[in-house]
Amino acid sequence: MNIRKAEIGDLQELLDIYNYEVEHGVATLDLQPKNIVEWEKWFSAHNVDNHPLFVAEKEGKVAGYASLSAYREKEAYRTTVELSIYIGPQYRRQGIATVLMEFILEQARRDERIHTVVSVITAGNAASTRLHEKFGFEFCGTIREVGMKFGQYQGIDNYRLTVE
């Protein structure tokens, strides 16, 4: 497995991984698949400032990705980033998320512009919860029934990690 900076040529594979979760899971509460134009905008917000985007490549294919995105628009939040990790369905349970997490948190620790990494996990996502706890994220609370997906209300669990 190779971890590298995402490139524009990865865009379709990144979009496919994300849209699989839109259509089949609750790791994202998006209800409609994204299109390539929307995903180009998302991509352009990464690998700039303190918002890296890395892919895990396995046998020449993008198996998953990790990103640090703007947490909120207000300038006071600029040292806080939001973590996302998505793994393609055929690559799950192979340790790829752990490798990506370790890699992106190391990048965050090296970036003096980052103080806090926040992660918002759909409540009940045990695999993601275990992954975050393994890396020392602190549970900050649940907001119950904030989204409706697949006919059920979904809550979100909030986690944070100070990397400074």
Its pTM stands at 0.95
> Could you give the maximum distance between any two Cα atoms of the chain, in Å?
43
Strands 80-87 and 116-122: parallel
pLDDT tens for the 164 residues of the chain, in order:
999 999 999 999 999 999 999 999 999 999 999 999 999 999 999 999 999 999 999 999 999 999 999 999 999 999 999 999 999 999 999 999 999 999 999 999 999 999 999 999 999 999 999 999 999 999 999 999 999 999 999 999 999 999 97
Residue 72 carries which DSSP code? Answer: -
pLDDT at 12: 97
